[in-house]
Every structure is written in C-alpha cells, then in structure tokens.
Amino acid sequence: MRSFASLGMILRPAIVLAFILGALFTATAPSVASSPAQAGPFPALTVKDDLGRTVAVPAAVKRIVSIQAEITRLVVALGAGGDIAGIDYTMRRHDHLFKYIYPDEARLPVVSMAENNVNLETLVSLKPDIIFASPFEKQIVEAIQRKTKIPVVALASLGDAAKLADELKLVGRILGRERRAEELAAYFNGGLGRIRDRLKDVAAGRKPRVYMSFWGSLTRTPIRYDPVAIAGGLNLAEKAMPDVLGSAGTTVNVEQIIAWDPDVILVHGNYLPAEREVTVDGILRDSRFASLKAVKSRKVRYTFGFWNWWDMAEVLLETEYLAALFYPERFPAFDLGRRCDEIHKMFYGLDGGFAKLSAALRCDEWTHD
C-alpha cells in the first residue's frame, strides 16, 4: 500500500516537517505591496510568501519556472502559460489534464524530480525572472534563491479553498494580470457561494456523514476537506488528530470506518484507473463493509481529491458534483459533463474538457451505479 508521502505529497521527512512550518506561517493570506522605488508599466512588488519570507519581485515577469503544480495551473489560467520556461516532475507524471489545457507542455523541461530535487544548472539555464516553489522546506527555498540569485516565491493553498482564491489574485498581481485574476476569483467564489446559499438551511443532523479514502490508501483520510464541507457534508475524520501536526491527513483503521458507518464513501479518483489501489468496486464487494449505509445505498463514488496541489477548476467542479450527490433534490439539474466543459472553458479556454478528463480518469463512470 502506498503512503501519503510517496503518492500525494512526494515528500521526504524533512519536507513533511516544513509542511508543518508552512501551515504555521500561513495563518494569514500572503501579502503583496507596491514598491515606490521603481516605476514602469508594472510596479515592482515586494511579496510576503507562505513561509513568511519577503521577496522582491521584478517589475515585469516574462519568464517563469514553476516547481509548484498548483501555481503552474494558475499561471496557465491567468493566460501566462506562454511565459512558462520550466515545470516540476509532478506536472509531467501526475497531472493528467495539463497536456490538454497546455498543449506545449511536452516542450517544457522538467527542473525538479521526485522528492523536490532541483536541478539548479537546468533552472539557471532557463533564465527565469521568477521561480514559484512549494513552502514545504524553507531551507530549500532559500538555498535556491541564494544560489541562483533569482526571486523564489513559495506558495500553496494546502487545501484551503479561500486561500486558493487569494493565491490566484496574488499570482495575478505578480504577473500583471490582475483583471483576469479578479474575473476567475469572482467566478470561483460565486460558484461556491451559490452552493452555500442553497444549503444554508440544512440542519447539521440532516447532513450526510462522509468518509474519504484518499492518497491510494483505504485508511488514509483528510481531516479537512473543503469540497465536502461546502457541499454540505460532515467529514467523519474532522476531529481526528493528524498523523503529522499541521498536515492534511490522518490514518484510521477498518474497525473505525465500520463504527462510523458513513452515509457516503468517497474514493480518491485523481489516479489513472490502472494505478488505483482502492476502487469503488473493491469497497462495494468488500464483505467487511456489507452492512455500511454507504454500501447498501451504493453511495460509494470517486471524487477528484487533493494531492500536492489543487486546481481551481476541479475544486469548483468537485464541490458542485458532491453537492448534487449529497442533495440530489436540491441540485436536480446538475450535469457533470456539461459543468466540466463550462468550467474548464472558463479557466483554460479548453473545449471538450469532460471528454479529455474522462479519457484519463474515466469520469464518465463516476455517477453511474
């Protein structure tokens, strides 16, 4: 069975420690301020990133290296994909939609491999104006900036939907694409807001109790998961202690899952079908779970799931999908394929997003009993 570290986060123990530090440093959203020292079409900025570092950002960013998959997606959504000069291993290996939303992906050199090993020689040769990195290890981030003399901004939403929207606006400001960032943030927040409004009168006792099998493990589950919460579900693991203080997940046992008797079981679907170690069919056929409400009602479904990154389009789509799963009477018109196409068109200008995503993840099978 794969571990959370090896699949979702691809982290070494030291990086897991830095994940904690990153979470502690992000009590408030990253800030950005104009610097009066320079003038030009784009004012120079000083940015406070998710490690609490203050970074001077060039007045005009034209070449970008992103070794943080979430930021790479945001850069493309902002219309600055043509400025990307290099990406990380996660995008090349684990992001199954990126080749569609960014057709030139194959030409981009990979500058960091598994476990955040950065090839500094390759990185410097690309001559980026800025490097976006993950806030998982402050020493690595600072070492990259010190050795390359290139500004490094460390950002990650860590599964927080509100922070994801703020992060988008910050990246938009850095890239001089504030208008597009505001447009996408309004679309994202508006979509989530409409779901909240439609469910605001649902009493806590009527909310479905949800268990999530994530990161390739039956017993690995997130203690916080915004799409479930916004969609009106109760995360059964929300009061559990994380395996590592400040991290996103905890490990339970099969006996605990049975004792919880969830109304809905969600399975991390952001894997290629051949790579899924936990499957919907496997849970439905598992004799240990035959008495569970979720199994009896066949409310065991795939969902996208948080990895080392979030994608704004999929967060919004997933939340709508879960709201319709939890409350079909309140979202009778929800159509996964249609909304997938609409949302990916808005964020990436992508036509036929559902067909492309289904070609990789078989999303067309997710809503079928």
Task: Classify residue 296 as exposed, middle or buried by CB count within 10 Å of its CB (0-12, 13-18, 19+).
Answer: exposed
Assess whether pLDDT exceeds 70 at residue 66.
yes
DSSP secondary structure, 329-348, as one string: TT-TT--HHHHHHHHHHHHH
- Of the two residues 8 and 124, the one the predictor is more confident about is 124
**pLDDT value at residue 322:** 97
Scan for tokens 């998961």, then name that residue: 225
Judge whether 289 and 218 are in contact, CB under 8 Å. no
Q: Is 86 helix (H, G, I), strand (E, B) or coil?
A: strand
pLDDT band at 96 (very low <50, low <70, confident <90, very high): confident
**pLDDT value at residue 40:** 40
Residues counted in the chain: 369
Tell me whether domains 4-176 and 189-365 share a fold. yes
Assess whether pLDDT exceeds 70 at residue 228.
yes
Residue 37: count other Cβ atoms within 10 Å of its Cβ. 9
CA atoms of 25 and 11, how far apart (whole Å): 19
Label the pairing between strands 64-66 and 84-88: parallel
**pLDDT value at residue 30:** 54
C-alpha angle 359-361-367 in degrees, rounded to nearest 5: 105
Give the pLDDT mean for 100-109. 91
- In the CATH hierarchy, which top-level class contains the domain 189-365? alpha beta
Assess whether pLDDT exceeds 80 at residue 302.
yes
In 3D space, the residue among 81, 157, 73 whose CA is nearest the CA of residue 343 turns out to be 73
Kindly compute the dihedral angle of the four CA atoms of residues 17, 72, 227, 323, in this order, to the nearest 10 degrees. Answer: -160
Q: What is the pLDDT of residues 127-181, one digit of tens each?
A: 999 999 988 888 999 999 999 999 999 999 988 999 999 999 999 999 999 999 9
**pLDDT value at residue 246:** 63
Residue 135: count other Cβ atoms within 10 Å of its Cβ. 26
Q: What is the pLDDT of residues 169-216, one digit of tens each?
A: 999 999 999 999 999 999 999 999 999 999 999 999 999 999 999 999
**pLDDT value at residue 188:** 98
Assess whether pLDDT exceeds 70 at residue 338.
yes
Q: What is the pLDDT of residues 15-64, one digit of tens each?
A: 333 333 333 333 344 554 433 333 344 457 898 999 999 999 998 899 99
In 3D space, the residue among 156, 115, 161 whose CA is nearest the CA of residue 12 turns out to be 115
Q: What CATH fold (topology level) applies to the domain 4-176?
A: Rossmann fold (3.40.50)
Q: What is the pLDDT of residues 233-283, one digit of tens each?
A: 999 999 988 887 767 889 999 999 999 999 999 999 988 999 999 999 999
Task: Classify residue 209 as exposed, middle or buried by CB count within 10 Å of its CB (0-12, 13-18, 19+).
Answer: middle
pLDDT band at 367 (very low <50, low <70, confident <90, very high): confident
Assess whether pLDDT exceeds 90 at residue 318.
yes
**pLDDT value at residue 314:** 93
Q: List residues bridging with 154 in a β-sheet.
A: 133
What are the boundaries of each domain within the chain?
4-176, 189-365
Determine the residue type at 15. Answer: I
